[in-house]
Amino acid sequence: MKIRKKLLLITAIIILLPILVGSLLWSDLPDKLPTHFNLFGKANGYSSKAEAVYFLPLLMLAVHLVTIVLVSLDSKSQNINSKVKVLVYWIIPIISCFTMTAIYALSLGYTDSYQTIFSLLLGILLIAIGNYLPKVRQNYTVGIRLPWTLNDEENWNKTHRLTGRLWVIGGFIVLINGLLKFSFVIVLIAALLILTAVPIAYSYWLSK
């Protein structure tokens, strides 16, 4: 897959945008910022101001670049739908903006829980990815990459059609649950288990 340099530059700038925001808020931010959270959305790990504002976005940029390079080197990248390729470019920028917004909001006292922001982020990503999964053909970097899906095109297609529907439904459930805050941990864990276990079990069943 040819790397789209203009799109890569735009998404890289967006990933690093929180650095500018953090620099503008520098005097208002505390010396320690929450950067790790438990299942209940409460901060249980902190980083220095410099680490949070500068290092985290740079780390996300590194992950972004590695992801794009790996996808571009996939020998079957031509099987990845063009819209899915664009989505790959936007996943890390979205995560960067949501994550850093949550960190700044918590640090400045605008919210006391990471749950709502995390649920919005995860719900949007699940809906977006689930919408495009059925359109992804066999490849080695994007999709449900199991021995039996990679060895059987029909298995791959059926598994991804089912997974796409499940992830869209699961995304809406996680999104709504984040807004209503109904048993956040139970719903989140149950959703993630179902969204991962069911596609694997279904594809394995098809292979047998």
Render pLDDT for 134-177 as a digit per residue (tens, 0 to 9): 988 888 888 888 898 988 899 999 999 999 999 999 999 988 88
In this structure, what DSSP letter does residue 135 have?
A: G
Backbone angles phi, psi at 34, to 5 degrees: -70, 125
In angstroms, the CA 194 to CA 185 distance is: 14
Instruction: Look up the domain containing 59 and give its range.
Output: 1-113
pLDDT in tens, 48-106: 999 999 999 999 999 999 999 988 887 777 777 778 888 889 999 988 988 898 899 88
Boundary residue ending a domain (113, 133, 167): 113
Boundary residue ending a domain (113, 147, 170): 113
Are 29 and 71 in a shared domain? Answer: yes
Are 98 and 146 in a shared domain? Answer: no
Are 189 and 208 in a shared domain? Answer: yes
Are 106 and 197 in a shared domain? Answer: no
Are 109 and 152 in a shared domain? Answer: no
Boundary residue ending a domain (70, 94, 113): 113
User: Cα 49–116–125 angle (5° rounding)?
Assistant: 95
Number of domains in the chain: 2
Are 101 and 42 in a shared domain? Answer: yes
Minimal CA–CA distance to 99: which of 11, 35, 48? 35
Are 46 and 106 in a shared domain? Answer: yes
Angle of helix 5-24 relative to helix 56-73, nearest 10 degrees? 170
pTM of the model: 0.75
What pLDDT does 40 receive?
A: 65
Are 96 and 8 in a shared domain? Answer: yes
Label residue 1 by pLDDT band (50, 70, 90): low
Are 144 and 157 in a shared domain? Answer: yes
